[in-house]
């Protein structure tokens, strides 16, 4: 049996969901090991087009068990909405194919409020949050002031803990932000409405996974990418969790697990949702044309994505941080309209060229060094083998592969599940 992690190499939004959906049939278990419903993993299959926020992208595959691990954070209200949405479209979601960790922290309404209030307070200095409470709940976790889903089974214990936490949280809402506070009864009613229906899904997922390890292939699904990692990303414009493959066993609840393959997902051009430095960013008409060609709008937020050419410097850094053993290159078909294909091959920093991704404080001082490769000027969405691609498209793939120093094993040429070239 072999375990695999599918992870983001850049700023997120690379196409991880479609890759998980594609290969999930080869795995018995798919695990989301970090993040919350700030994710937007787009999947297109025979059931339609979906933007998954919390549910693992293996949920469409029959016989696959999907797990939300202890490293994730769960908004019960939003998870129930997502489950019901899939069920309404004919997708089975049951305690047999979805298991949610009893150790995952609960995202409360006050976490969402605090997230939005802090972004408003920061104004032009905001971090680009999705305002879904993710940073506040992770902050509370490390301050030992969260409620775990498993506490739903111990209502007296839960009520006592929530009472103490709420006193502290209301002080922040009232005295820092001048905002609405919450009563204990209000939140207990909210937990009854949205927590109780989730109880059949909640279990010791760590025990389940440790038992499955070695008997079933396990696929770990990350949210976001290296440049949004709390430790190694463009801090402070990061997520509040660790989207690295190295964290997957911990966030899943099986710290001793071995990961045999790490598939890093990279777009054939660069995109970014949220704030922070983005060296190769395009603006104006050039950006608009690429954004429209690739339908580059955030799946979680609907915000227009920032766009630009493939960034070799950032991608090579991401490959190294993820320990990627192979790369999936997505959306290369979008570049078909270009006569020549731009690539950011180096950064210029304070008058000197560099191949290295800089410390966060100076990333914003960098300028892109651009080279151009020939375009192919034809629709490639029907290609299903490398040899069917125009030579210019082949050369582009080989150029990226050489410069990021990692083999490209999968190339997507369209949104559909089968629009993939395997090398």
| pLDDT, the chain, mean | 93
Answer CATH for 266-320+329-422 from 3.90.170.10, 3.40.1620.10, 2.60.40.1120, 3.30.360.10: 3.90.170.10
**Which pLDDT band, with edges at 50, 70 and 90, does 300 fall under?**
low
| Predicted local confidence at residue 128, as pLDDT | 64
| Predicted local confidence at residue 118, as pLDDT | 86
| Predicted local confidence at residue 131, as pLDDT | 77
Instruction: Report whether pLDDT(126) > 80.
Output: no
**Which pLDDT band, with edges at 50, 70 and 90, does 119 fall under?**
confident
Rounded to an integer, the average pLDDT of 275-289 is 95
CATH top class, domain 109-198: mainly alpha
| Predicted local confidence at residue 299, as pLDDT | 64
State the Cα–Cα distance between residues 274 and 244, nearest whole angstrom.
19
Q: Which helix (H) or strand (E) holds 169?
A: helix 155-175
Instruction: Report whether pLDDT(329) > 90.
Output: yes
CA dihedral defined by 398, 400, 406, 412, rounded to 10 degrees?
-80
**Which pLDDT band, with edges at 50, 70 and 90, does 275 fall under?**
confident
Which residue has better confidence, 401 or 58? 401
Take residue 294 and report the two structure tokens written for it.
Answer: 């690739």
Take residue 289 and report the two structure tokens written for it.
Answer: 């044309």
Which of 106-120, 124-138, 372-386 ranks highest by mean pLDDT? 372-386
Nearest 5 degrees, angle CA 104-CA 110-CA 113? 120
State the Cα–Cα distance between residues 283 and 122, nearest whole angstrom.
24
State the Cα–Cα distance between residues 298 and 301, nearest whole angstrom.
5
Positions marked active-site: 13, 41
Tell me the HSE value of 341 on the side-chain side, using a 13 A CA sphere.
Answer: 26
Q: Could you tell me the residue ranges of all domains in the chain?
A: 4-103+200-263, 109-198, 266-320+329-422
State the Cα–Cα distance between residues 41 and 206, nearest whole angstrom.
24
State the Cα–Cα distance between residues 322 and 93, nearest whole angstrom.
31
Instruction: Report whether pLDDT(13) > 90.
Output: no
| Predicted local confidence at residue 10, as pLDDT | 96
Which residue has better confidence, 357 or 52? 357
pTM of the model: 0.92
Which residue has better confidence, 133 or 5? 5
State the Cα–Cα distance between residues 388 and 215, nearest whole angstrom.
38
Task: Tell me if 109-198 shares its fold with 266-320+329-422.
Answer: no
| Predicted local confidence at residue 418, as pLDDT | 87
Which residue has better confidence, 399 or 275? 399
| Predicted local confidence at residue 298, as pLDDT | 73
| Predicted local confidence at residue 127, as pLDDT | 66
| Predicted local confidence at residue 269, as pLDDT | 97
Instruction: Report whether pLDDT(292) > 70.
Output: yes
**Which pLDDT band, with edges at 50, 70 and 90, does 153 fall under?**
very high
Instruction: Report whether pLDDT(22) > 90.
Output: no
| Predicted local confidence at residue 50, as pLDDT | 78
DSSP letter at 375 equals -
**Which pLDDT band, with edges at 50, 70 and 90, does 116 fall under?**
confident
Instruction: Report whether pLDDT(21) > 90.
Output: no
CATH 3.40.440.10 for domain 4-103+200-263: yes
In this structure, of 42-56, 175-189, 197-211, the range with the lowest mean pLDDT score is 42-56
Rounded to an integer, the average pLDDT of 175-180 is 94
| Percent above pLDDT 70 for the chain | 98
| Percent above pLDDT 90 for the chain | 80
**CA 179: distance to chain centroid?**
30
Instruction: Report whether pLDDT(18) > 90.
Output: no
């Amino acid at each position: 049996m072999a375990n695999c992690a599918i992870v983001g190499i850049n700023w997120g939004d690379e196409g991880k969901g479609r890759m998980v959906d594609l290969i999930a049939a080869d795995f018995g278990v798919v695990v989301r090991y970090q993040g919350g419903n700030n994710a937007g993993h787009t999947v297109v299959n025979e059931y339609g087009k979906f933007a998954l926020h919390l549910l693992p992208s293996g949920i469409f595959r029959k016989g696959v068990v999907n797990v939300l691990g202890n490293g994730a954070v769960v908004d019960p209200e939003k998870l129930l909405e997502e489950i019901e949405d899939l069920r309404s479209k004919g997708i089975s979601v049951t305690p047999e194919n979805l298991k949610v960790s009893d150790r995952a922290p609960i995202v409360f309404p006050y976490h969402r409020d605090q997230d939005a209030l802090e972004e408003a307070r920061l104004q032009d200095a905001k971090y680009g949050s999705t305002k879904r409470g993710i940073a506040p709940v992770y902050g509370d976790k490390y301050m030992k002031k969260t409620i775990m889903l498993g506490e739903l089974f111990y209502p007296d214990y839960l009520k006592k803990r929530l009472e103490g936490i709420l006193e502290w949280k209301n002080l922040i809402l009232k005295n820092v932000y001048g905002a609405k506070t919450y009563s204990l009864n209000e939140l207990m009613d909210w937990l009854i409405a949205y927590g109780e229906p989730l109880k059949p899904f909640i279990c010791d997922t760590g025990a389940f996974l440790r038992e499955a390890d070695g008997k079933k292939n396990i696929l770990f699904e990350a949210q976001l990418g290296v440049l949004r990692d709390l430790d190694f990303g463009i801090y402070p414009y990061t997520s509040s969790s660790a989207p690295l493959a190295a964290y997957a066993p911990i966030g899943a609840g099986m710290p001793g697990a071995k990961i045999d393959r790490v598939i890093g997902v990279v777009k054939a051009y660069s995109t970014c949702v949220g704030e922070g430095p983005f060296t190769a960013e395009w603006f104006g008409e050039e950006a608009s044309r690429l954004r429209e060609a690739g339908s580059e709008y955030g799946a979680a937020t609907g915000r227009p994505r920032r766009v630009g050419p493939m960034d070799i410097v950032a991608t090579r850094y991401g490959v190294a941080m993820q320990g990627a053993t192979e790369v999936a290159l997505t959306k290369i078909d979008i570049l078909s309209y270009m006569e020549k294909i731009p690539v950011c091959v180096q950064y210029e920093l304070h008058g000197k060229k560099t191949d290295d991704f800089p410390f966060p404080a100076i990333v914003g001082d960098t300028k892109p060094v651009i080279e151009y490769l020939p375009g192919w000027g034809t629709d490639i969405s029907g290609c299903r083998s490398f040899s069917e691609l125009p030579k210019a498209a082949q050369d582009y793939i080989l150029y990226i592969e050489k410069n990021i120093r990692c083999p490209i094993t999968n190339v997507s040429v369209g949104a559909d599940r089968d629009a993939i070239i395997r090398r």
